[in-house]
Amino acid sequence: MNMEIFPLISIVFLYFFIALIKPYIKSFNPCAICAAVSFTWLVMLVLWLTGSQIEAQGIAILMGMSITGIMYKSEKFYKENKIKNFWLVRLIIIIGGFYLVKGVFEAKWNLVLFIAVIASLSVSILSFFFQNTTHDDVLKEQKTLGRKSSLIKKLENCC
């Protein structure tokens, strides 16, 4: 199969397939497009690592899409659990994800492991310290401390 059109076929097919079976999956609620993109780049990455003629750039672009999807899925979790300062976690996910993908394609496995551990620990620690605090709580705290809230509002609502 021509690997130039593989993502087109794979993502479209998997998207519709996952969307159709999603109502029957009770324990896990995957985003159909996220799962389709992730599965596609995983297959392409395995083929690339085993020596197939696949352009790394296409895989990296799909991986970047997944990183952005992880960020948005995480944001939903943070809002539902009233965890503050997601803007910092957003930066960790995007920057950590960039260097993680870069490390994979440069075959710097120690760097990949290091970034994965540091990013995971950072997100876990931040989540623990900022849990059960709403965005409004952060703004009130900033006003109490005499700080302007506009920067925090801009960071939290950047999307």
DSSP codes of every residue in 74-113: HHHHHHHTT---HHHHHHHHHHHHHHHHHHHHTT-HHHHH
The region, left, alpha or beta by phi > 0 then psi within -120 to 50, assigned to residue 131 is: beta
Domain ranges of the chain: 1-54, 70-159
Separation between Cα atoms, residue 37 and residue 49, nearest integer Å? 18
User: Are the CB atoms for 19 and 35 separated by under 8 Å?
Assistant: no
Separation between Cα atoms, residue 109 and residue 28, nearest integer Å? 30
| Lowest-confidence region among 10-24, 41-55, 126-140 | 126-140
Give SS3 for 146: coil
User: Are the CB atoms for 137 and 83 separated by under 8 Å?
Assistant: no
- Mean pLDDT score, 121-146: 70
Q: Quote the mean pLDDT of the chain.
A: 82
pLDDT at 113 over 90: yes
**Among 38, 101, 114, 47, which residue's Cα sits nearest to residue 73?**
38
pLDDT tens by residue, 54-108: 888 999 999 999 999 888 888 887 777 777 777 888 888 899 999 999 998 888 9
pLDDT at 154 over 60: no
Does pTM top 0.75 for this prediction?
A: no
